[in-house]
């Protein structure tokens, strides 16, 4: 780790490979959901990268590493519980779930009388308006949610790339994307 | 996303980092700065005659010492816990001095009761003093703490807020012209609680420094 702090990429890569099984073991101990394991491992590696300057070479490495792995596992558990709670609330809300679909397809009767050219022009206009509306709604999102949504959904970056670009952890990105979509849905409904 | 690929991405273009100094050194650095600036303010603005007169009471001395110890231990615990791998027991460090502070002040309340109406107005000034003085203290403390990118920001924010608010309460002792009353203590604690609540609420934007 000392060499990694001094900027040796090969030592750092070797270190990250060697600690991955340890991180995985900590995550497995704290989190029973297998599909979350790799996410926790990656989140921990990203945190290790972010806080590598806090490691004191005069102190043992393992407690430093395992405390990060434990914290990220606990964060993942909390996040999953929160998302599950939100999803349950959304399901209980019922009729709103299909609203976005209705927004896309609800104009079909009005459009039946239009000529094909008018239809195409109107669709293009609607597309532009929708883009403008989306852009204006995006501006109303909290900065971190907007950043996460733009990186992951619009720029189609991987979570690792988005995390490196934004400084947000993979878990935080997932939560912020989830919240951004939820907020956007609510804003669409409020706008009618 | 592939973990192997992530490791490769993280190692590629790795830059050397400046190691963070020991939490104890950084805590002492902050405490020394605060002590130096507070001394300047006290020498310039405080009525030291009244202060020395109040210090004739051992209970007031105990209260002052306990407040200072709460500030020192709260700050030290915040710096320790801002770094991964430190024992969570650090969080208990300021508990004893804080209880001593409460005990010494509580004893004063027993002696002085609710106090006078004029005293109640003065107590409100104490609330404003602690809250206002805590802002620059907490801001400078969090500015130092956020360099560690704390992985558990809540406890770091709470302990840091306690340290900053206790430091403000300690400085207040030099500007406090009367002995503590029930209302006084309640407002001191309300100010400390307010600072802790604000910093706990704002912990993520305040402690989440940009990536190194």
What is the CATH number that goes with domain A98-192?
1.10.10.10
Residue B155 is assigned to a structural domain of this protein:
yes
Q: How far apart are CA B209 and CA A3, in angstroms?
A: 24
Domain A1-93 identical in fold to domain A98-192: no
pLDDT in tens, B131-151: 888 889 999 999 999 999 998
**Which one has a higher pLDDT value, B4 or A165?**
B4
pLDDT in tens, B8-43: 888 887 889 999 999 999 999 999 999 999 999 999
| A35 and B CB contact within 8 Å | no
| A49–B10 C-beta distance less than 8 A | yes
pLDDT in tens, A81-140: 777 776 666 655 554 444 443 334 334 433 443 444 445 455 555 655 666 677 778 888
Among B10, B16, B211, the residue with its CB nearest the CB of A16 is B10
Q: How confident is the model at residue B114 (pLDDT cuts 50, 70, 90)?
A: low
| A45–B10 C-beta distance less than 8 A | yes
Residue B26 is assigned to a structural domain of this protein:
yes
Q: Which residue of B has its CA nearest to A142?
A: B205
Nearest to A173 by CA among A34, A43, A27, A77: A43
Q: How far apart are CA B76 and CA B81, in angstroms?
A: 9
Domain count, chain B: 1
Q: Which residue of A has its CA nearest to B209?
A: A167
Domain A1-93: which CATH number of 3.40.109.10, 3.40.50.300, 1.10.1740.10, 3.40.50.920: 1.10.1740.10
Residue B161 is assigned to a structural domain of this protein:
yes
Residue B42 is assigned to a structural domain of this protein:
yes
C-alpha distances out from residue A67 to A64, B87, B123, B210, Å: 6, 9, 43, 21
Residue B15 is assigned to a structural domain of this protein:
no
Q: Which residue of B has its CA nearest to A11?
A: B11
* Host domain of residue B148: 20-207
Residue B106 is assigned to a structural domain of this protein:
yes
Q: How far apart are CA B183 and CA B62, in angstroms?
A: 20
Name the minimum distance, in Å, from the CA of B193 to any CA of chain A. Answer: 26
Residue B5 is assigned to a structural domain of this protein:
no
Q: How far apart are CA B189 and CA B195, in angstroms?
A: 10
Among B1, B151, B211, the residue with its CB nearest the CB of A160 is B1
Could you tell me the residue ranges of all domains in chain A? Answer: 1-93, 98-192
Q: How confident is the model at residue B2 (pLDDT cuts 50, 70, 90)?
A: confident
Interface test with A, best of B8, B151, B153 (most A CBs within 10 A): B151
Residue B25 is assigned to a structural domain of this protein:
yes
């Amino acid at each position: 780790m000392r060499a990694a702090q001094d900027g040796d990429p090969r030592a750092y890569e070797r270190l990250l490979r060697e600690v991955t099984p340890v991180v995985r073991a900590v995550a497995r101990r704290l989190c029973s959901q297998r599909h979350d394991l790799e996410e926790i491992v990656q989140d921990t590696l990203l945190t290790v990268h972010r806080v590598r300057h806090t490691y004191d070479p005069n102190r043992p490495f393992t407690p430093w590493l395992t405390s990060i792995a434990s914290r990220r596992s606990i964060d993942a558990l909390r996040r999953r519980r929160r998302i599950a709670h939100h999803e349950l609330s959304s399901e209980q809300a019922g009729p709103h779930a299909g609203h976005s679909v209705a927004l896309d397809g609800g104009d079909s009767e009005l459009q039946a009388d239009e000529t094909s050219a008018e239809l195409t022009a109107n669709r293009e206009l609607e597309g532009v308006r929708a883009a403008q509306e989306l852009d204006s709604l995006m501006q109303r999102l909290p900065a971190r949610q907007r950043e996460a949504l733009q990186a992951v959904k619009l720029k189609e970056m991987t979570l690792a790339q988005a995390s490196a670009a934004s400084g947000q952890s993979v878990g935080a990105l997932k939560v912020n994307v989830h919240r951004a979509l939820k907020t956007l849905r609510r804003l669409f409904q409020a706008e009618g | 996303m592939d973990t192997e690929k992530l490791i490769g991405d993280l190692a590629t273009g790795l830059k050397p980092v400046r190691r963070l100094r020991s939490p104890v050194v950084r805590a002492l650095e902050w405490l020394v700065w605060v002590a130096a600036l507070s001394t300047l303010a006290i020498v310039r603005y405080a009525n030291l005659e009244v202060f020395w007169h109040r210090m004739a009471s051992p209970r007031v001395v105990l209260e002052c010492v306990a407040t200072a110890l709460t500030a020192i231990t709260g700050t030290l615990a915040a710096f320790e816990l801002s770094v991964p791998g430190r024992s969570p027991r650090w969080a208990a460090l300021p508990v004893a001095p804080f209880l001593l502070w409460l005990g010494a002040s509580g004893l004063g309340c027993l002696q002085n009761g609710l106090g006078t109406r004029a005293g109640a107005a003065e107590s409100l000034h104490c609330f404003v003093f602690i809250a206002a003085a805590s802002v620059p203290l907490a801001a400078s403390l969090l500015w130092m703490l956020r360099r560690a990118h704390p992985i558990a920001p809540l406890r770091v924010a709470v302990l840091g807020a306690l340290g900053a608010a206790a430091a403000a309460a300690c400085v207040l002792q030099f500007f406090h012209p009367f002995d503590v009353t029930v209302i006084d203590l309640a407002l001191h604690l309300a100010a400390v609680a307010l600072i802790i609540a604000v910093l706990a609420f704002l912990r993520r934007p305040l402690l989440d420094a940009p990536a190194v």
